[in-house]
Amino acid sequence: MRGTRHRIGAALALAACAALVASCRPAAPRPTTGIRPDTSVARGSMLYASYCAGCHGADGRGDGPVARTLHVTPTDLRTPRLFAGVSDAEITARVLHGEPLRTAPHGSAFATERQVATIEEYVLALDGRRWERVRAGRLVYESNCAACHGAYGSGEGVLGSLLARAPADLQLASARYTDAAFAAVIRNGTGAMPPMGDLIGPDETRALIVYVRLLSPGYRLYDTYCASCHGDDGRGVHPEDTLPPALVGPPLQRARLAAMRPDARRAQVLHMFERERGVMPHFRSTLDAEQIADVVAFLRTRQR
């Protein structure tokens, strides 16, 4: 669930290639650097996986896991005309200095007023969360629960569909169970759920319960459309992130939102999703020209 989040650079790096061709002019070939071509391609392959595949997909089709959250469709980097007649030097310059890509999710991603309301409610509750416990509980959940209960607790896990009895919807169960009742179910099992007491210790159980209580429709929307930039806690940065500042979204102004009238706040939340703010960095602080040229060398091998 989080594999791509910590690679938001992967989601955005070469999306600027979408605009490379329109005004490209033939330029001098890239000077040789003494590096064997196969070495350059291999290095480019690794850089592509780290900085580009999140949006453009593993093979460049434009169908990466983060692509569905973007306002635009990432370019299919396998298109022959994309690199035809364009030098590596010119492509590198475009990636380093081109215009940011506008990637805000389109307002149509939120079909109902209720969806806007659920994400509003979630954002307002961010300050009250015990985030160290939440993050520890998420690891326990992803390792032991998500296969049946699904990534967001709604019972849509891969293994859940194979069971005679559908897994519980944890988004609903959270409101009905006390912490003690949750702990008993985890320890002893219930229905099709096996006992987990031998696998999940007391401390892990407590952290897991904290995380399960986070699961909600608002969390699902926030995690899909907001957390990659704004962080799971709305502060814009994850403690484990290694992203440069250009890739980190601003902290959410939760106090300001909380002080607004409900109708004004609802309009503000919707506006946050409808606007198109350029967020794709130029990667000047992350990749140098030679690294980008290596990525280009790799992409040239992927042309159809």
- Residue 173 CB: number of other CB atoms within 10 A? 18
Q: Does residue 283 sit in the same domain as residue 268?
A: no
pLDDT for position 286: 63
pLDDT for position 21: 35
Most confident range, picked from 9-23, 60-74, 236-250: 60-74
Q: Does residue 185 sit in the same domain as residue 88?
A: no
Q: Does residue 111 sit in the same domain as residue 252?
A: yes
Q: How far apart are CA 94 and CA 72, in angstroms?
A: 19
Q: Does residue 132 sit in the same domain as residue 265?
A: yes
* 50, pLDDT greater than 90: no
Its domain, for residue 214, covers 107-274
Q: Does residue 90 sit in the same domain as residue 163?
A: no
The number of C-alpha atoms within 13 Å of 183 and in the hemisphere containing its C-beta is: 11
pLDDT for position 117: 75
Domain at 135, CATH number: 1.10.760.10
Most confident range, picked from 17-31, 51-65, 167-181: 167-181
Q: Does residue 256 sit in the same domain as residue 293?
A: no
Q: Does residue 206 sit in the same domain as residue 64?
A: no
Handedness of CA 131, 132, 137, 140 (dihedral sign): positive
Q: Does residue 114 sit in the same domain as residue 87?
A: no
Q: In one letter, which amino acid is 80?
A: P
Predicted confidence band of residue 303 (pLDDT cuts 50, 70, 90): low
Q: Average the pLDDT over 81-99 and give the result.
A: 72
pLDDT for position 69: 60
Q: Does residue 198 sit in the same domain as residue 293?
A: no
pLDDT in tens, 133-161: 999 999 999 999 999 999 998 888 888 87
Predicted confidence band of residue 87 (pLDDT cuts 50, 70, 90): confident
- Residue 10 CB: number of other CB atoms within 10 A? 25
Residue 38, classified by CB atoms within 10 Å of its CB into exposed (0-12), middle (13-18) or buried (19+), is: exposed
Domain at 20, CATH number: 1.10.760
* 11, pLDDT greater than 60: no
Q: Does residue 13 sit in the same domain as residue 69?
A: yes
Of 34-48, 184-198, 230-244, which range is least confident?
230-244
Q: Average the pLDDT over 167-188 and give the result.
A: 88
Q: Average the pLDDT over 185-208 and give the result.
A: 91
Q: Does residue 112 sit in the same domain as residue 253?
A: yes
Count of structural domains, the chain? 2
* 281, pLDDT greater than 50: no
Q: Does residue 235 sit in the same domain as residue 139?
A: yes
* 242, pLDDT greater than 50: no
Predicted confidence band of residue 289 (pLDDT cuts 50, 70, 90): confident
Higher pLDDT, 71 or 108: 71
